[in-house]
Amino acid sequence: MHKADVIIVGSGLAALMVAYHLCGHKNVIVFTKSNKEVSNSWLAQGGVAAAIHPADHWLSHYEDTITTGCEHNDDEAVRILVQEGREAIEQFMHLGFSFDVDERGELLFGREGAHRMRRILHAGGDATGKKMVEFLFEKLSSRVLFIENDPVIDLLVNDGRCVGVRTKNGLYVAEATIVATGGIGQLYTFTSNVETATGDGIAMAYRVGAAVADMEFVQFHPTMLYVDGKAVGLISEAVRGEGATLVTDDGRHVMDGVHPQKDLAPRDIVSRAIDREMKNGHLVFLDISAIPHFSSRFPTITSLCERYQINWRSGLIPVVPGAHFLMGGIVVNVDGETTLPGLYAVGEAACTGVHGANRLASNSLLEALVFSRRAAHSILKKKEQLPGVNKYEETRENVCIPLPTKEQIQQTMTECVGIVRNYDQLLEAKQWFEQYSLFELIHCAPPYDDEERTIVNMLIVGWLVTTSALQRRESRGAHYRSDEPFERQYWEKRRIVRTKTEHLIKEGFR
């Protein structure tokens, strides 16, 4: 039995920001699924959106976020994001972090889809997430204990309270446990996400009774580099922000007549337009010929193209949409508290409601800065005591059920629960998932074998996405059903909230 004040599961930007705000006051342990540098934050090429430019205003950022989220957002969470975002970024810069500047030393502002103006800060051109994560690792290296070789298997609960985690090699108890495990992109064949993004934290929280919500809202990024039938890396939306356009193999502009903002339309609209072209037998390319000094502006993307022998100098980069971001996740309030006392969630694993039905570009890193700080402050204010250490014997039987492969799950999700869905496909996927004894997977202890445990978590999360999508009989944001192609008034501000004992539709977010 091991003790800590705070346990954090995950090592992306949200996890590291919580750790930074806590480490001067609490004994913090950070568990990572593999190498601590492997996270979606590390891969984030885009930047941080915030109303910092003198010509900008938080209200404009607020309206862009709400519009892109199809007004499904939690209004209060969005207000906190855009109003506290400026202070959070200024604080981060005060710690010594440098965003990109021009020759006069002034901050450079980029533009991305669905933003009405340039408000995106970058670092290292298209390596913002990596730069921010590296910066925090350096700050935390001697102040926080990182454990990389002992994966978290389950959350510990006693008397209705989360009291720590069970790992492969032992038990760790803490006054507060924070899930920061990222998203679910690996449930799909094409994804921008790292290999470890299999929804583990969401599945663990759901298994112990924490509520999850908005699981049907899975955002697909329009532009993944497409090589030999595979998506091999992200092509940042900032490329279109600098003037790139989407074209077909026969020279047509994909977004002409589709949306007033054309190539900078919200991601769900652009992804569906590309998906439609590909289903009609066409290849789609990013035409970057209008961007001067492409290699210096986008060094990460240039390197990615060269690694896969794509001649970016020709001006055309082949692309395909890929699963990118989950707007739903573990239900939290604006201080990161879940419905299970003692358990917190931050980052993509959490559902603050800030992203609504579709995330506005570059709001995810800002969310990590703002809400991780709030979660840390909430923990510091509570002054909880460490729980007792003598009651946590295993009480659930270990699962022993024949399981599918990861590739079978990905195929089912891609074909039936992808960019465009319909009732028949969703029902087919639901029946496929439920053949694997979901009740036992949810209520029994997870396997100790790493591969089997990942499959179990993917099955639980895939089923949650599928059945939530089946219940929401409309199209809104990233959830698009061809059999229900319009938003319906009935579903305005209604969330599908799920627990392991029930799921219900909740009106409003407060």
Residue 96 Ramachandran class (φ > 0 left, ψ -120 to 50 alpha, else beta): left
**Interacting residues of 495 by C-beta distance below 8 A, sequence separation 6+:** 213, 214, 353, 505, 506, 509
DSSP per residue, 334-391:
TTSB-SSTTEEE-GGGEE-STTTTSPPTTHHHHHHHHHHHHHHHHHHHH-PPPPPSS-
Residues 177/9, Cβ–Cβ less than 8 Å: yes
**Identity of the residue numbered 128:** T
Find the helix or strand (DSSP H, E) in which 168 lies: none
**3-state secondary structure string across 201-246:** HHHHHHHCCCCEECCCCEEEEEEEEEECCEEEEECCCHHHHCCCEE
Task: Look at residues 320, 337, 315 and name the one whose alpha carbon lies nearest to residue 283.
Answer: 320
CA angle 241/245/251 to nearest 5° reads: 180
Pairwise CA distance, residues 150 & 88, whole Å: 32
Identified catalytic residue from 111, 240, 267, 453: 267
Give me the long-range contacts of 376-380 (CB less than 8 A, separation at least 24).
376/17, 376/18, 376/21, 376/22, 377/21, 377/335, 378/335, 378/336, 378/337, 378/344, 379/6, 379/22, 379/26, 379/175, 379/176, 379/344, 380/21, 380/22, 380/25, 380/26
Residue 22, CB half-sphere, CA atoms under 13 Å: how many? Answer: 34
Q: How many other CB atoms sit within 10 Å of the CB of residue 158?
A: 14
Q: Running DSSP on this structure, what letter comes out for residue 186?
A: G
Pairwise CA distance, residues 365 & 368, whole Å: 5
Dihedral sign, Cα of residue 329, residue 335, residue 339, residue 341: positive
3-state secondary structure of 138: helix
3-state secondary structure of 98: coil
**Interacting residues of 280 by C-beta distance below 8 A, sequence separation 6+:** none
Whether 307 is a known active-site residue: answer no
Q: Where in the sequence numbering do the catalytic residues fall?
A: 267
